[in-house]
Amino acid sequence: MVKGSGKNATSSVVPGTSPGTNHAWGGSGAWADAATGATTIATAVMTIHHVRRTFPPLDDDRGLRPPSTTSALGPATSSRSGMPPGYRGAMGDPYRWIAEVYDLAVEPFQRKIREVGMALYPPRPGMEVLDVGCGTGSHLARYREAGCVVHGLDLSPAMLAKAAARLGDDADLRLGDAAALPWPDGSFDLVVAQTVLHELDATSGKAAMAEMRRVVRDDGKVLVVDHRPDAPRGARAVANVVEFLAGIRHFRAYRAFLAAGGLPALVADAPFTPAREKVVARGAMSVVLLSPT
């Protein structure tokens, strides 16, 4: 996949691909790294502290439960209204407080990485795009601006409610599990999964990759973004803090994902051929464009 890390990292996925780390956290140099990391952590801490005072905890650790292949939220259903079908209220959704702060605390970081992915595989009008783990719909909104037909799936009713409010009736939003996508074979030109796979256990992660292969067309692409196990120390420290703030169960899933080899290992064992890759987030993550095999 990628040899080395940090500023000297080079991609071995496709000969001729531009080397190096894409500075998706902005700035350059050690001082910029430190300032950006401190700002990211401070923003996350203050925002999450405020929301956790507003919402009571769901369980003892207040953490996010890694999605399993059997969703407790019910069967996947289509949403074409302000509130997704199957919504059971905020108290039954472990992602409910994340939904309240996502656009403020997480979206600025995700936006920069998203632009890297869109540059690797530019959207075109009429393209059918599925976002697995679509969250509040900010990713799909960007693809819709480019003329794409957008579809999204998330395990969280609260996240889908935010996405439905943002995207309106012309977005196909469904409540469901990444390991059992509720669409027919060969439905999409592009399937995207950005910072989702590290929340899944090993079995569910492999199932999600297989499902993305099933629903993408043979001439389509899959774009995945997630953590690398060989990140530089500073970048890993920032990522560790951010993932820990999401809850202890979420953090344990993230650590298990890294211990299993992170995104490079998951991609190597999936039914795809890597086409292009960019290392982002100061070497902590990879954006990988995959071709079906």
CA distances, 97 to each of 109, 155, 197 (Å)? 18, 14, 20
Would you state the pLDDT for residue 26?
42
DSSP 90: G
∠124-23-250 over CA atoms, to 5°?
85
Contact between 226 and 198 under an 8 Å Cβ cutoff? The reply is: yes
CATH number of 2-292: 3.40.50.150
112, 271, 129, 145 alpha-carbon torsion, rounded to 10°: 30
Contact between 174 and 77 under an 8 Å Cβ cutoff? The reply is: yes
* Chain segment 118-164, per-residue pLDDT in tens: 999 999 999 999 999 999 999 999 999 999 999 999 999 999 999 99
Contact between 282 and 33 under an 8 Å Cβ cutoff? The reply is: yes
Classify strands 172-175 and 272-280 as parallel, antiparallel or unpaired.
unpaired
Would you state the pLDDT for residue 109?
83
In this predicted model, which residue has the larger pLDDT, 217 or 8? Answer: 217
pTM, 2 dp: 0.73
Which contacts (CB < 8 Å, 24+ apart) does range 49-52 have? 50/101, 51/97, 51/100, 51/101, 52/97
112 pLDDT more than 60:
yes
Range with the poorest average pLDDT among 89-93, 190-194, 204-208, 238-242: 89-93
DSSP 24: T
**Domain ranges (residues) in the chain:** 2-292
Mean pLDDT value across residues 109-125: 94
Closest to 36 measured CA to CA, from 108, 139, 99:
108
Whole-angstrom Cα distance, residue 241 to residue 252? 12
